[in-house]
Amino acid sequence: MALRRIVRAGIGVLIGATALTLSVSAQRAPQPLTITVNQIKPNIYWAAGGGGNSGIIVGDNGVIVIDAKSTAEGARLLLAEIAKLTPKPVTHVFVTHSDADHWGGLDAFPASAMVIASEGFRKEQLAIIAMNDAPNQRVPSRLVKQGREPMTIDGVKLEAIHWVPGHTSGDLLVFIPDQRIVFTGDVTSNARPEPTLHENKGATADGWIATVNKIVGLDAELFVNGHGEADTFQRSWVEMRLKAATDTRDKVVAMVKEGRSLGDIKTALKSAPQPASGNPTYVEVVYWNALLRGKK
């Protein structure tokens, strides 16, 4: 009897373990890729899914896209959604920065489409290609220098804006003054409670704060971010993020001057946890920036 109970117990454990494995496998099964399009204005949309958020602007004769999704598959799905909105072809694609989830799908766009990015993006893209880590080899057709560059594309008046390094060294914003809308890329995002800064791409906390101060200075009422569930943010949300980031920067700098360690500072400020990507937290970047300034 005892042996039977042991065997039955062993079978029960095996069945339970198998069920658990199947349950975990089911949870980890890849979800089908979907793109969700949301309308902002009669001719302006944003699209979630398949990578960073994308912008869609329908002009007189063609369509302007902002950010190309992570992969060719995602880009093709985005193009299919655009085709449901209008028969007009995609003629221009803006890339807001060099993170792969914003330009990995470029190859799927029409070869005739002009790709517009910043000079900073191009430098980072060349480095990524040199490391054989590029999602594709397509390069910009037009580069935007630092500053604000007015353009009229398919009857749409806009500004391509490339300021100091914020999220990366190649951040590009697309501002539509008539509609008072600005697409910010990952400079603003609600994916994490704090700004995400790629220090390895030249980003600094001071640069991010300077950039967002200028964004707040634009005559815009809607701010379309690079990631997050919400479609657009009001000025108050951007101002709140700016104030929080500035206050944190000032506190970290003061603690560094006191000689406090990074671990102590992160604990004192209840710093956000390390992202799964392995990127440094905002507090870590501010800490290293402050140390570097102190050594100069």
pLDDT in tens, 230-274: 556 788 889 999 999 999 999 999 999 999 999 999 999 988 888
pLDDT higher than 90, residue 207:
yes
pLDDT higher than 80, residue 4:
no
pLDDT higher than 60, residue 151:
yes
Looking at residue 63, what is its pLDDT?
Answer: 98
User: Which 8-state DSSP code applies to residue 228?
Assistant: S
Residue type, 250: D
Looking at residue 277, what is its pLDDT?
Answer: 77
**H-helix or E-strand containing 246?**
helix 235-257
CB 115 within 8 A of CB 90: no
CA angle at residue 172 from 166 to 234, to 5 degrees?
75
229 pLDDT tier (thresholds 50, 70, 90): low
CA angle at residue 101 from 98 to 102, to 5 degrees?
55
Looking at residue 16, what is its pLDDT?
Answer: 44
Q: pLDDT per residue over 36-57, tens digit each?
A: 999 999 999 999 999 999 999 9
- For 137, the token pair is 């080899």
CB 71 within 8 A of CB 77: no
* 97 Cβ contact partners less than 8 Å away, ≥ 6 residues apart: 118, 121, 124, 167, 168, 170, 171, 172, 185, 186
- For 99, the token pair is 């993170």
CA atoms within 13 A on the CB side of 2: 0
Looking at residue 28, what is its pLDDT?
Answer: 56
pTM of the model: 0.86
Ranges of each domain in the chain: 36-234
CB 259 within 8 A of CB 74: no
Average pLDDT over every residue of 60-85: 97
CA atoms within 13 A on the CB side of 212: 31
The CA-atom distances, in angstroms, between 51 and each of 34, 35, 72, 292 are 10, 9, 11, 33
Looking at residue 32, what is its pLDDT?
Answer: 80
Q: pLDDT per residue over 155-184, tens digit each?
A: 999 999 999 889 999 999 999 999 999 999
**H-helix or E-strand containing 159?**
strand 156-162
CATH: 3.60.15.10, 3.40.50.720, 3.40.50.620, 3.20.20.70. Which one for 36-234? 3.60.15.10
